[in-house]
Structure 1
Amino acid sequence: MEKKKSERERSMKVKIFVQAPNYILYYVGYRNPFRDSKLIFVGIEFCELVNRLTIQKNVFTNTHIKIDSIHFDVAEEGDWK
């Protein structure tokens, strides 16, 4: 079954922008054929210090990590380079 053109044109980029022992900041860029390109930062702050590799590999599935807060902010095109 062939996908519709609109389904094929959707894309998303997620990159780690900043990483520290108690927070991580992701750059998320996505494009939808019905809207302009959107760029946002997603920052996740943890209640305690967390190992860097733990953050990268399984931050959302690790039950021992407690998230203090999540922040969203608008990003500009050149911010993530």
Structure 2
Amino acid sequence: MAGEPLHLETHGIDLGYVELYRYPPGPGGEVPKHAHAEYQFCFSVDFPGEYNYRGERHPVPVQSVSVIHPGEVHAARDLDDRQ
């Protein structure tokens, strides 16, 4: 995912931030372990993924919403190439 053009929208709300990522077609990628100071609300619009969160792998199905708590270390990865 690094170095690829992407569209990112960030919207501040009282609890934290809502982020919408749109990646172009290409090879699958990973986001290394990191944490946020606020809640992170994640919307999977049209591509499945996976989180490594609290020591376990969690699938992120298409059209799902997931929440990462403040200060929680997590990583993400694509399960396949993006079409």
* Between structures 1 and 2, the one with greater strand share: 2
Q: Fold conserved (TM > 0.5)? A: no
TM-score, length of structure 1 as denominator length: 0.30
The answer to which structure, 1 or 2, has the higher relative contact order (CA under 8 A, 6+ apart) is: 2
TM-score, length of structure 2 as denominator length: 0.30
